Each structure stands twice: as C-alpha cells, then as structure tokens.
Amino acid sequence: MSTPHPADPQAAAGKPPKTATHSATVLATRTAKAQKRETRGLILGLVKPYRGWLAIVLAAMLVEVLMSLAAPWPLKLVLDDALGAHHLPSWLEWAHQMGIGRHTLGVALFAGIATVVIAVVGGIATYIDNYYTTSIGQWVANDLRLRIYEHLHRLSLAFYDSAKTGTLMSTITSDVATVQNFASSSTLGILVDIVTIVFMLGLMIWLDWDFTLIAVAVMPFLLLFVFRFKNAVKVVTRDVRARQSEIVAVVQEGLGQVRAVKAFGRQDLEVAHMTAASHASTEAALKARKIKSLLSPVVATVVALCTGIVLWKGTALIIAGTMTAGALTVYLAYLNKFFKPVKDLASMASTIAQTTVALERIQKILGADEIIHEVPDAIDPGRAKGEITFDHVAFGYGSGEDPVLTDVSFTIKPGQVVGVVGPTGSGKSTVVSLMPRFYDPTGGRVLIDGLDISKQKLAALRAQIGFVLQETVLFRGTIAENIAYGKPGASHDEIVAAAKLANADEFISRMPHGYDSLVGERGDTLSGGQRQRIGIARAVIRNSPIMILDEPTAALDTESERLVIEGLTQLMKGRTVIMIAHRLSTIRDADKIIVLKDGVVAEEGTNDELVALGGVYAELHRIQYETQPESQSGSLPITAAASA
C-alpha cells in the first residue's frame, strides 16, 4: 500500500486532497463575496453626495415614527381617564394647569387636540421625508445612468464583440429604474419599518412583557422564512430580467433591420422570435409570482395567530382586574403596528431581491475592465507627420480563437497613399482598427512618427486619424450637426466649406431647410451617395493628418461614386492615406499596396510590381478583371491627390 508523500500537507495530516469541485466551490464563494463588496461600494458611492439630504430624511423619519407611536394614546386617555378618573394622568398634569378641565369632556377635548396635533406633525414629517427621498432616488438614478453610459463609451470594442446591445439597453433603462424606485420609496419604508419595530418593541415590553414574548417568539421563525424566501426570489428574478433583456434585444434587432426584414419578407420569422421571447418572459414572470405569492398569506396567518392569543389572554386579565380596557386597546394597536412593518419588510423581500439583481447587472457592466488604458505618463505628441510603422504585430480577438495577425511588419511614409488588400478574413480591418487603439495588439508595437501609440494620450492619438467607412453612420440631428461631429464647436462657415470640398453642398442646399434639415434615424432619408459625402465632409472638417478609407465607394452607383471620388480626392491632399480595398481598381495608382494573408504581410509593392510578381495580388487581380473590365471600375486619381 502506498503512503502519502510527506510534501503533501493534507495527505500528511490524513485529510483527503481538495477536489476540483471543492476548489470551484471556494472560488464561487469568494466571487460572490467580492460581488457583494462591490455592490455595497457602488451603493455607498452613489448616496455619498447626498449625505445632507439623508440627514434630513432621517430626522423627519424619526419624527414620523414618534408620531406613529403616540397615535394610540389619545384613545387610551378617553377610555381610561375621561370615562374613568375624569382627569388626566399625573404626567399630563400640566395640561390641567393650562385650562383643560378636570372632567370627562375636558379630558376628551385634550385627547381630540392631541390627535390633531399628532396627525399634523406626522403629516409634515411624512411630506419632508417623501420629497427628499424621491429627490435622492431621482438624482441617484441620474448619476447611475450617466456613470454606466460613460463607462460603456470607455470600453474597448473587444467588450462589444461579445456584449448584447439589448441587454445593455435593458440595464441602463429597466435596471436603473428598479434602483430608482427602490431608492425613492422602498428605502424610506425599510428605514421607517426598522425604527418602528425597535421603538414598538420597547414600548410593548414596558406595557406588558408577557404579551411581548408572544410576538418575539415567532420572529426568528418568520425571519428565517423571509430570508429563504428572498433567496428563492433572487433566483427567479435573475431569470425574469434575462428574459426581459432578450425581448429588448429581439425588438432592437428586428426594428433596427426592418428594411432587410421587409426586403426578404421575413416578418413572420421576426414575429416568431418575439413570440418565443415573450412566452419565455411570461413563463418566468409567472414562476416568480408563484413564489412571491406565498409570502403574504404565511405572514398574515402568523400575525393573526399572535393577535388571537393576545386578545384571549388580555380579556382574561381585564376580567381579573389586572389590566384596563384602554391598556389592552393600546397594546393591540401597538401589536398591529409592530406586525405591520414586519409584514411590510417581508413583502419588500421581493423588491429587495429585484433591486439586488438590478445592482448585480449594473455592477457587471461597471466592473468590465476591457478598457484601453493610458499609461500614467502618456504624452500628447501634437500634430503627426503621418509615418506609421507596424513592428512584428500580433493580434487575436479572443483567448480561445486563432490569431488574426501573427507577425505583421510594414512602414508607411508621411503623405503616402497605401492600399491594404487580401482575402476575406486576412485581417485588413483589424490592421486599421489597431492604429487608433480600438484594440491593443497582443504582440509587437504600432508606432506613429516613431512613437509607440500605447504611450500616447488616447484622445490625442485618435485626433490624428480620420475615417471614411464603407457605410457612413449618421446620428439623430441636423446635417450641420452631423458634419460638425468631426469637430465639436465648428462654425457654420467651416461646415459649409467642408461640405463643398466633399461635393455635398450642392444637394444640401436644395433641401427645404438646408444645413438645418433633420436626417432620419441612421440617415435613412438620404441616399447612400449623400450619406458618404456627409461622411467625407465630417472627415474634412476633422482635418486629421492620417486618413483611413474603408472601401467608401463599394455600394454606390456610378454617378454617386464619381461625386464621392471627387470629394475623396480633395480629402486626401497632403495626408497619409490607408485604403482598405476590395475593388483593386480603386488603389491601382497607390504609392504602395500591402497584401495580407494568413496573418502576415504576404506581399508589398506597387500595382504593377505585384501583378508582375505573380503571387496573391496577381491572382486577386486576375479574378477581378476576368469578371469586371477595368473600364467599368472607378478609381481614385491618387497620384494627383498625393502630390497636390
């Protein structure tokens, strides 16, 4: 029989070695604890700016609780003092000295005045705490929305490669609204209920500790039930929120691509997607309601049991002469007030669970660390000359996926026009995405003017680079605002000058409101050529020394292509230009063409050199020109643009 190795402390101590399952359990426990700490930190950070308002709420809440405690006493005065002794108790003797008569109606008058005063003071306190609590809830929600949205814009594109837009939209709207509602109403209710329970318990012990033991005895069992109930609700609530997020995702995708849906006549498919998502959400919600509905009957039964016992025993004590009817009335009122916050807290278990899930989903976004970080001593290099160097660059989109780039090296000189071509999936878009640090390479360096871009300030780096993409995305607003998107604070003259250089002024001027004309969502009210020319104007007004063109004429008709090419010719003057090309005719006059294949630079040279080489580029050239004669393909007058 083998003996444990003495180097294994667990084996030496006679303990079984830790299994993978045990390790996973420990890790999950630590993760859950870390999430709770992060959630607590998030809550404290959100309410910290409103400490003054919280103090006002706390003071008003204490007044409200005290008035609630005082509310049953006027009735006791009527039952025990007005109808019995015909004068107020000794601790209220001061009222007689102020003119309250020592008779039944005098005591009743004092009880009536006290009832009104208690109600008025309590009402003022309720107004103050409701107003300030709602104010805190609204501003916390505002801060939280802005914090999430700002963080989402700081995340790299790597985060969005796997994130679902519908889930993000659901979190920034529904989950924030859940937190807001909780902060505006439930938080105050919980605080009031807790303080009320503490004060009520003290008064009940003072009035009759025997009766109070009955209420206290059932509390541990009730709290244990509520705790287990809360955990069960959290589980089903997570499922409900996930299903609701799926509905948002289906709606966002279906309506966002409504033109494609109608073009292919697949409305039935999109409705089927919505039906499945909606049914799943309904089933999850009903499952959650099935669990939530158990709470109220259980708590009500326990409360009724305690009240019945107190009523039976209290009647016996009155008959025995050891308790007055007024004392029993006050005690029953307190017992009801004691169990009301208990019931409220129990019913809030569902609300707390929903808010906890919302905070977890929010913290999941805020905790995402897929951010392009700046080094502490990042520099602003000023306006770049435009030299770009890739030094043995490698990159992959995920740890489990094959790298897109394995060893890419090339240099682009200032003012050069360079085409980037290659088969589908060769990494053309990846190369240009690394230049503005949309992603960071997993190996090697990218340099601009000899300086590693990872050591530059991110905003300063991206200010050096302009984009004209294959599909220009326009934002909600006017045409002028969309052009000025490339340069915040641009004057109207600058906007018009940029539009003229982009050949866009002619069609903009014909529109009813000119540059103040509103564009539809994503610019769908404009033609493809018009959108591209606005995109060029946006790049012109940005005036960046480096320009990236991602096949900007690929989807245009001949006339639109001609106008866009004229605009691009103006845009390219005096700049370093990198063009991703699928139609080789657009880059045949480029200073240099870089051919990517299998994650490396397969070839590099001019159009004529690469055709003569007979390699990858020559094969792409042969395939294209066998199916598309050169005379039918538009091309940019690159040499003239670069030398201008």
CA-to-CA distance for 163 and 156, rounded, in angstroms? 11
Examine residue 348 and state whether it is found in any structural domain, yes or no.
yes
In the chain, % helix, strand, coil (3-state, to 5) comes to 65, 10, 25
CATH of the domain at 307: 1.20.1560.10
Mean of pLDDT over the chain: 78
- Range of 267's domain? 30-366
pLDDT tens digits, residue range 560-593? Answer: 666 777 777 777 778 898 988 777 877 888 889 9
What pLDDT is stored for residue 642 in this prediction? 45
- Spatial CA neighbour of 310 closest among 331, 337, 287: 331
Residue 296 CB neighbour total at 10 angstroms: 12
Examine residue 559 and state whether it is found in any structural domain, yes or no.
no
What pLDDT is stored for residue 1 in this prediction? 41
Examine residue 77 and state whether it is found in any structural domain, yes or no.
yes
Examine residue 523 and state whether it is found in any structural domain, yes or no.
no
pLDDT tens digits, residue range 25-79? Answer: 444 454 556 666 777 777 778 888 888 888 888 888 888 878 877 777 777 666 6
- Sign, CA dihedral 534-537-542-548, equals positive
pLDDT classification of 8: cutoffs 50, 70, 90: very low
Domain count, the chain: 1
Mean pLDDT over residues 389-395, rounded?
93
CA-to-CA distance for 227 and 244, rounded, in angstroms? 26
Provide long-range contacts, Cβ within 8 A and 24+ apart, for 115-119. Answer: 115/71, 115/74, 118/67, 118/70, 118/71, 118/74, 119/67
Q: Which residue has the higher pLDDT, 163 or 151?
A: 151
Task: Please name the helix (run of DSSP H) or strand (run of DSSP E) that holds residue 59, with its range, or none.
Answer: helix 51-70
Dihedral angle computed from the Cα positions of residues 564, 569, 573 and 577, in that order, rounded to the nearest 10 degrees: 70
CA angle 77, 79, 82 (to 5 degrees): 60
CA distances from 206 to 201, 202, 288, 331, 502 (A): 9, 6, 41, 10, 85
Is the CB of residue 568 less than 8 Å from the CB of residue 529?
no
The alpha helices in 516-628, defined as continuous H runs, are 528-542, 558-571, 607-613, 616-627
What pLDDT is stored for residue 394 in this prediction? 92
Examine residue 283 and state whether it is found in any structural domain, yes or no.
yes
CA distances from 419 to 305, 464, 551, 590 (A): 83, 19, 10, 6
pLDDT classification of 451: cutoffs 50, 70, 90: very high
| Whether the predicted pLDDT of 388 surpasses 90 | yes
pLDDT tens digits, residue range 473-496? Answer: 788 788 898 888 888 888 999 899
| Whether the predicted pLDDT of 500 surpasses 60 | yes
Examine residue 161 and state whether it is found in any structural domain, yes or no.
yes
The reported pTM is 0.66
Examine residue 184 and state whether it is found in any structural domain, yes or no.
yes
Examine residue 189 and state whether it is found in any structural domain, yes or no.
yes
Q: Which residue has the higher pLDDT, 89 or 206?
A: 206
